Amino acid sequence: MLKKMSYSSFPEDVLEHVFSFVQSDKDRNSISLVCKSWYEIERWCRKRIFVGNCYAVSPRRVITRFPEVRSVELKGKPHFADFNLVPEGWGGYVYPWIAEMASGYPFLEEIRLKRMVVSDESLELIPKSFKNFKVLVLSSCEGFSTQGLAAIAANCRNLRELDLRESEVEDLSGNWLSHFPETCTSLVSLNIACLGSEVSLSALERLLGRCPNLRTLRLNRAVPLDKLANLLCQAPQLVELGTGAYSAELRTEIFSNLAGAFSGCKELKSLSGFWDVVPAYLPAVYSVCTGLTSLNLSYATIQCPDLIKLLKLCPNLQRLWVLDYIEDSGLEALAASCKDLQELRVFPSEPFGAEPNVSLTEQGLVSVSEGCPKLESVLYFCRQMSNDALVTIARNRPNMTRFRLCIIEPRTPDYLTDQPLDVGFGAIVEHCKDLRRLSLSGLLTDRVFEYIGTYAKKLEMLSVAFAGESDLGLHHVLSGCDSLRKLEIRDCPFGDKALLANAAKLETMRSLWMSSCSVSFEACKLLGQKMPRLNVEVIDERGPPDSRPENVPVEKLYIYRTVAGPRFDMPGFVWNMDEDSALRLS
Amino acid sequence: MSPENVNCLPESDVKLTLGLPGSGRIPSKPGMKRGFLETVDLNLELDQEVAAKPPAAKAQVVGWPPVRSFRKNAMKSCKYVKVAVDGAPYLRKVDLEICSSYPELLNALEEMFSCLTIWNYLNERKIMDNVNGMEYVPTYEDKDGDWMLVGDVPWKMFVESCKRLRLMKSSEAIGLAPRTPSKNSSTS
């Protein structure tokens, strides 16, 4: 007779109470592994679930295990879908989830989706199924129109958040906003920045006026600047604001109204928007600058001098997104003024131009790495880089956790020495011991992957393009990176050997994407047969993979772990390499 | 902002006619405006202005550099101008920045006003209403407030100076006298 351990004789509700203080998914998962009774207690009181790959598990299975969930977060397409590498129709449909949750989670309050295909039908189903629905966040989603939005606005009585960040919406008209009933007073966050059409400004004004708890408002480009002051006066309590188009005829009354309205917003911490900027109107925001922690100027075509003037007034800035108009000199000024900076993203103003149009080089990034001790997250587009600069950055900022460098021309060497940038990126992974995310670019041999495999022990996500020389590169990464969850590769000479030799590793990761590499159909079939808990999807728009010689590389390969088996919604250009389909194809 | 450098050309060489893309850059003369009478037959040349574009990039690789389409689209400037059609009760807006040439603009107009057909007959293009058979001539109001015929000036200059578009009934257009005859005879 086994003696029961004392901890399992705690009453269930005590344990449940203790567990309620544990919010992190990882910790919750750990709790559920302790013993059967903890598993049971935990699953009954889990309120929030995050499914990083909507095809990793079936909705029915989630609902069965966690019956009391109130908040669901799902991700669909792989990250490279952002850059048009995933063909339209690949998948990521949310409807099956919503349909299942309609019966399984009648009390569902929150749905957060990323890179999923969301139909109007799905949206319409939400208020019908979830009477207490509160939060809808659609990040980089597509497939719905303003009609679906109207259904949400009209029927979700307690809606708190409607956030459409960067989704692609079929914009039939701006009417949908007027569907918020007069009784809707609960809005806390509204982000419509991605929409094209004009919404009714009077409806918007009235909506703002009756929602005293609104803290986040991101307007779309169509909201004219001369109307912004009125809107702000309806919501002076805003903490986060995205302007519409930031241009108007130069008129003193527009300016003074605007400046006045801004100065009334004492809580403002985050600003974005700024499309079509007329620099003369920038000073209208000066009064809020001292309080700003986040500034997104990545759509603002403001030149360096105006940028510098603005940044000098923002000593508390923690996050800056900006275009490369900021140039090296602007970044130097940033480094001098914004000592609390944690995240910097510099986007290219002319990514497809053959010649540089601005004076932004590696030097700008070096300055910021020197001047900003808290800098830990970087996304930087530039046209030249050197190993020296990368080594300097690495030494300056061992606290870096996310480092994404995009040298615009593929395979660009160190511009000073003509050497590959292996050593530079090697320094990054060696010094930045907590690095979780890395994107490589420039000329790179297998050597850089050796460094990565050796040092990047906390690395969770790696993006590789136009790099490496042989399978050894891929092998270093797969065998060395202990924390790797997501690996995405394009246009690299990686093939079958590394993949097959590290097949087991793939089950410890969320997903692997490889496109324009050298993986053969035969290897894909083998992998699919060997690893039943992986979905090995060959994506090839040229036609069935077996219509080509077996050593011809597949176009695209997406491998992900799953307990749900092959999915049922694959389009004609996607083949699953499980045992059955392998037999069917051969 | 300023028009391209031009060579001096005799007037007849500046006439815009339909041609294949890249069939030869025809430099423009800045300030050359002509009235309706001279171009009412709408000989629109496809002046692709290849040289006016920034230095051509090599063939673009899909998805590289990794800039999201959302961002790419947002960075494009828009120039929305109102489009009125004589006799129609509604105005529409067209984004001139999305079109890169006159034929594209005409296509966009055709899509917008589905009752119209851009009629390609020999070397002429007319805009015709399918329903009532009326012929229209595309005109625009420029920065100076003058109403000009669409197709007169190189595309980029047109985009810069166009404030709004009006599809005018041919019958009305013919009645209009040329605006500035003195300019027409300049050859500088």
Whether the ipTM is more than 0.85: the answer is: yes
What is the pTM assigned to this prediction? 0.81
Q: Which residues of B touch A (CB under 8 A)?
A: 54-58, 60-72, 74-75, 77
Cβ–Cβ < 8 Å for A228, A258: yes
Residue A182 Cα, gap to closest chain B Cα (Å): 31
3-class DSSP state of B159 = helix
Rounded-to-integer distance, Cα A124 and Cα A136, Å: 12
**Structure confidence by residue, pLDDT tens digits, A141-182:** 999 999 999 999 999 999 999 999 999 999 888 889 999 999
Which residues in chain A have Cβ-Cβ distances shorter than 8 Å to B93?
Answer: none
Which has the higher per-residue pLDDT, B151 or A585?
Answer: B151
Cβ–Cβ < 8 Å for A79, A103: no
Residue to test with chain A: of B75, B77, B95, most A Cβ within 10 A: B75
At residue A206 the predicted structure's pLDDT band, cuts being 50, 70 and 90, is very high
**Structure confidence by residue, pLDDT tens digits, A282-338:** 999 999 999 999 999 999 999 999 999 999 999 999 999 999 999 999 999 999 999
List all residues 6 or more positions away from B66 whose beta carbon is below 8 Å from its beta carbon. A82, A83, A406, A465
Question: In chain A, whose CA is at the least distance from the CA of B75?
Answer: A299
For A263-273, what is the mean pLDDT? 97
Which residues in chain B have Cβ-Cβ distances shorter than 8 Å to A85?
Answer: 62-63
Cβ–Cβ < 8 Å for A76, A54: yes
Cβ–Cβ < 8 Å for A320, A334: yes
Nearest to A69 by CA among A96, A92, A42, A93: A42
At residue A69 the predicted structure's pLDDT band, cuts being 50, 70 and 90, is very high
Rounded-to-integer distance, Cα B74 and Cα A499, Å: 39
Q: Calculate the average pLDDT of chain A.
A: 95
**Structure confidence by residue, pLDDT tens digits, A420-447:** 999 999 999 999 999 999 999 999 999 9
**Structure confidence by residue, pLDDT tens digits, A20-51:** 999 999 999 999 999 999 999 999 999 999 99
Q: Please, which residues 51-90 of chain A have a Cβ atom closer than 8 Å to chain B?
A: 80, 82-85
Q: How many CB pairs under 8 A join A and B?
A: 60
Contact B55 A354 (CB under 8 A): yes
Between B65, B69, B72, which is nearest A408 by CB? B65
Whole-number Cα distances in Å, A381 to A23, A295, A437? 36, 18, 16
Residue to test with chain B: of A77, A80, A82, most B Cβ within 10 A: A82
User: Which residues, given as ranges, of chain B have pLDDT below 70?
Assistant: 1-59, 77-78, 114-126, 129-131, 174-188
